[in-house]
């Protein structure tokens, strides 16, 4: 399913609470996954450094494995960080697409009841479209 088609059913109505909570759960899931990658990377790195300090230089196979762990730690962290950034970029892109298809849906929010605030947000949305 294409990204633009994913939220087509929401064009005629606002996102309901269940949908907002699903978005929040997705963000929290991404954070949790990033922390898991960081924990794994730190464990690999510390295990590798510890093994390098404790092993005899004559144990080539174990020292090679320790070097793989030491260098693999930052690599695992990089992979997790890249995956997290990709998730955040995709969510931002989809939010922007949703706002463009229904750009004034922000004006229907409860905190936007005053006419002055509605005019301010409408002006900001028009300015952001002019920039893009």
Q: What is the pLDDT of residue 19?
A: 72
Helices H / strands E in the chain, number of each: 4, 0
At 6 the pLDDT is 56
The rounded distance, in Å, linking the Cα atoms of 60 and 47 is 16
**In the chain, which stretches have pLDDT less than 50?**
1, 11-12, 104, 112
Residue 12: its pLDDT value, please? 45
Say what the pTM is. Answer: 0.60
Which pLDDT belongs to residue 130? Answer: 58
Q: How far is the first Cα of the chain from the last one, in angstroms, to the nearest whole number?
A: 26
């Amino acid at each position: 399913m294409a990204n633009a088609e994913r939220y087509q059913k929401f064009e005629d109505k606002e996102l309901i609470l269940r949908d907002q909570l699903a978005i929040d759960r997705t963000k929290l899931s991404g954070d949790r996954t990033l922390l898991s990658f960081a924990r794994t990377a730190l464990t690999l790195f510390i295990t590798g450094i510890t093994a390098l300090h404790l092993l005899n230089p004559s144990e080539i196979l174990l020292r090679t494995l320790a070097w793989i762990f030491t260098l693999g730690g930052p690599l695992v962290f990089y992979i997790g960080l890249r995956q997290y950034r990709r998730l955040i970029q995709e969510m931002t892109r989809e939010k922007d697409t949703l706002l463009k298809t229904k750009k004034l849906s922000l004006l229907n929010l409860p905190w936007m009841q005053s006419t002055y605030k509605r005019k301010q947000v409408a002006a900001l949305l028009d300015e952001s479209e002019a920039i893009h």
